[in-house]
Structure formats: C-alpha cells, structure tokens
A and B are shown apart, each in its own frame.
Chain A
Amino acid sequence: MSIALALDEAGRKPAGKRPYFLDREVERVLAITMAAVQELAVARERIDTLERLLEAKGILARGEIESFAPSPEQAVERGQWTQEYLARVLRIVQQEGEAIAAADKGDLYSEEVAAELTADARG
C-alpha cells in the first residue's frame, strides 16, 4: 500500500497545458463540484450495498427503511444535524450577509486597521 505516493500521484497534472472553456474560476468550481458529485454517488452506492447486505442477512427488510419514521426525539436530533450541516455549507453566504450591516458600522480590512495602528504607534 502506497497511500502517500497515491496522494501525490493520483491527481498529478498530465504533460500538456490545460484548456479552459469557461471563466477559469467557474471551471475550477465546476470541477470541484463534479468531484463532490462523484463522491456522493460513491457514498450512495455504499449505502445501497449496506442495505442489501443487511436485508440478505435478515437483519432488516428494505421496506422498513422506506417506511421508517423517526420518533419526535430522533426527528429533533436529525433536524439539528441538518441545521448544522447547512450552516457549515453555506457559511460564506451567512458571512456575506452579515457584512452588509457590518460595513455600515465601519467594518474595515485588517490591512486598513494595520495602517491605522501603525499611525497610532508613530503618533
């Protein structure tokens, strides 16, 4: 097993400059998104295998998954997880939203504050 070698080598750039078809930023995000899409399919296939094996071993019937309804307590746990998950995924949107109000309150770039602090130091 050469995990370290594979981490370096698997995604290596092939010789030859890469063509871009869209704005470079858009194409980069598309490539990242499609990699995530791929991994979702991989996880989905693994869950499917798990369900089928559990059914084959008589541990559950797949219909039980379809008809499963969480208890109120379980629904709360799941709801909290989903809230946390969305908050993580959409953090930048939250921060961009907060930035609108923050700007009115004199929010500055760190670089601007640095200049201010430097000026104070001289003064």
Chain B
Amino acid sequence: MDGSGEAPIVAATVDYDGMPDSRVVGRHGMFPHTTHDDVARINFLAQLNRHLAMNVAPFVKTAWEKRAEPAARAKAGRPAKDRHEVRKALLEDPMFTTWSALRRLTMEQRQQAGRWIAVREAETLAAKAEVLTRGDSRLSLDPALKIPRYVSAVDHHCMPGSYHTELFPGDVSAGANYDVGGFITTGGLLGRWSDGGGRAIVEWVKREKPNWAPKRILDIGATLGQNVLPIAAAFPDAEVIALDVGAPMLRYGLARAKALGIDNVRFVQADASSLPEFQDGSFDWIQTTMFLHELSLTSMNAIFAESHRLLKPGGLVLHVEQPQYTPDMPLYEQAMRDWDAFYNNEPFWSTLHEIDLDARFVEAGFDRPKLIHDKVSADARDIFPAAADDTVEDFGRKAAWRLVGAER
C-alpha cells in the first residue's frame, strides 16, 4: 500500500488464502470515519474469527470423536440421543471450552471495536443522517412502538443495546456499528456492500421467475437494508418497504441507501407481527434474510400469518436462513450450529432450526404444494478471490444459505 487510500482488491502474488484487508469494504457517504488503528483492529478480529473457525474448531471435532464422545457414551451406556446431550458432553472437554471462551470474547471484542468507532463518531454520524433524511417521507419512525421481548430480553449476538437503543435523539450509532464491524464476522464473504444475502435471493428470483416483475416488496427485519438494496436495484420500478423495530437502523439505512443512490426503498419502523397499516393482498413479495432465528415462536407464527394476509395471489414469501436440523445432519454438527443459541445471545436459534417450518406455513394458510425449498449462495469474489476455494466446514460463516418460502 502506498498511502493512496485504495486497498488492492486482487490478492497478492504470494500464495495466500486468507481474507483481504477490510478496506475493500465499500465506503458510502454514511460510513463512519475510521482511524488506522480502528481498521487494524477490524482486520485482526476478522482473522481471529477465521483462525478459530478453520484452525481451532477442527480440533474440537477431533476432541469430540476421540475423547468427549467415547467418555459420554461410556457414562450413559449409549450414544448421545440429541444435540443437547452432545453439547453438554462437549462442555466437559477442554478443547471445546477453550474454543468457546475464545469465540465468546472475540464476539465481545468485535462489538467493542465497532462501538468504539461508531459511538466516538456518533454526533457526526447523526448530523450526516439528519441532513440526508430530514423531511424525507421515506423514513417513517414510530417512537411509541413497543420493542418486542425477543429483541429487548437479550442483546442479539452480544450487541450492546441491540438494534433499537438510541444514546440520544437522532442517534444512528447502532446502525454504524452494525455496518462498520460486519467484516469481522463475515470476513468479506458477503461482498463489498455486505449484501450477499440480498444478491443471492435476487439471483434465485431472476433464475426461477425470469419474467416476474414484482411491484411492491416488503423486507422484514431489514436492519440497515443492506440485503434489500440489491432487490430494489434489481427491480427499480418496484416500491420497496424495509421494516425494522430499530429506529437507529432505519435512520442509518435510509441515509445509506441515498448515499448509494438507491431511491425506491421506504424505511418503516414497525413490528411485523401486526401490520394493520398495510392492506390485504398489497404485496407481491415478502422477504426476510437471516431474520427468522431472531424471533420467538409466537411472533414467527404471527409474521407468517401476516405474510399470508399481505401477499397477493401468486405472490412469494421468501426466507433466507441457516439450514434446519434434519435427521441426516450429524448431532455433532447440530450441536456446533447451536453454539450461537446458547453462547452468542441467539435464544430462538435452536428452536427455529428444529421445528417443522412447513407445518407453520400451512397453519398460516399457505398450500403445502406451493412451499419452496432451495439453496442460495452469494459470490464474494469481487473482494475475496480465495473464498470460492474455501471448503472447510464453517457452521454458518460462508455466504451460503437455505431458502424456505411459499407462493400464495
């Protein structure tokens, strides 16, 4: 690097399969100012996460196979019968507890690193957002909105204050923290604009429904709108509504969308379990991306029912999620995927991935033959050329997900 401020995007000439410098992340007009040390901290924590996934987690598997599983089997007189027994047996093994302690503190350090940037810059960012969103009808906030218990009880993925807390009126630091620190957990695998989930679903829709021209699209749990912007860009004539309960996310989200030149998204603060402001059959497409696991059973059922009510006949509801725990998934893998549920403040994660989602769709009014199951993935080679060759099992780190949904 020569100090020109542009990080090289293509990997260096030496053999290197790691992640790029985090400066490859796109810097739009709302992106917080970062110092050299801030960026170095993000680089380090991203590498630490990857190291734990690729160099330490495999030892956890070895420890399970050679040590913890035989010990648990001898003690119980039978193999583990479910993922919870596997997790409890793993908690007795020092490799699992060491990996877990490191993973937990890495999550906490990620939040601290991101908040150090976002809170330090909070007033500047709030002023920028104010200039970009003042008087714009595409931002609808509801200060009276009751924050659901599933958001307020524990802060998801150890993010202090979660999506909704404002440090002062007009604060956007929660959104800025989410944006600036995202690279630490994704390592660039979601692409320059952290929009891999959105690009993945657009690619699926263009392939599976080549002539479809949805006119009205609802994205629920949009956070910054990072995954809905590719949808809005792919369907520029559509009216797109990005819904979230967190005002800082929405404020930041509209400002970010405008800075990126995407004009057809409205950012609305609401709880999607009840949306009386929208008419029956008023949407062609309802989308969520990595959202269902942050709900509760009651709210998820309500959102499924609202989705059924809000969709036009022929409309699609599509959820991008991590895979369900099916009987063919080894119990060890289930237990490792469950880590976030127990140790990274994702309390609904475990239940969501074991329930019969198809049955929930049917209960909400959808026809079983019209349910959708597929895989989707995003290509991050624009900033991370080596990612495509990365074959190590990562329990959720990669830009590859399951698609569950239904046609109305």
Contacts and interface: CB of A to CB of B under 8 A. Distances in A.
A15 B154 CA distance: 5
A22 B97 contact: yes
B152 to A, nearest CB: 7
B155 A22 contact: no
Instruction: Classify the secondary structure of B's interface with A.
Output: helix
A76 interface: no
Given A1-B123, A14-B160, A21 B155 contact: no
Interface string A1-42: 111011001111111101111100001001100110010011
A41 B115 CA distance: 19
B153 A10 contact: no
A21 B160 contact: no
A52 B98 contact: no
A119 B293 CA distance: 66
Interface string A49-81: 100110010000000000000000000000000
A11 B105 CA distance: 12
Contacts of A34: 48, 102, 105-106, 109
B77 interface: no
Given A21-B100, A42-B40, A14 B121 contact: no
Contacts of B167: 5, 9
B128 interface: no
Interface in B90-143: 91, 96-98, 100-102, 104-106, 108-109, 111-113, 115-116, 119-124
B36 A15 contact: no
Interface of B: 1-3, 36-37, 40-41, 43-45, 48, 91, 96-98, 100-102, 104-106, 108-109, 111-113, 115-116, 119-124, 152-155, 158-162, 167, 173, 342-343, 345
21 contacts: A1-B124, A3-B120, A5-B120, A6-B122, A9-B119, A9-B160, A10-B119, A10-B120, A15-B160, A19-B342, A21-B97, A21-B98, A27-B101, A31-B105, A31-B108, A34-B102, A34-B106, A46-B36, A49-B36, A52-B1, A52-B3
Of all A-B residue pairs in the complex, the 4 with the closest CB atoms, nearest first, are A16-B154, A14-B155, A45-B40, A21-B97
Given A11-B112, A15-B162, 14 more contacts: A2-B122, A5-B122, A6-B120, A9-B173, A10-B113, A10-B115, A12-B161, A18-B104, A21-B343, A31-B108, A34-B48, A42-B37, A45-B36, A46-B37
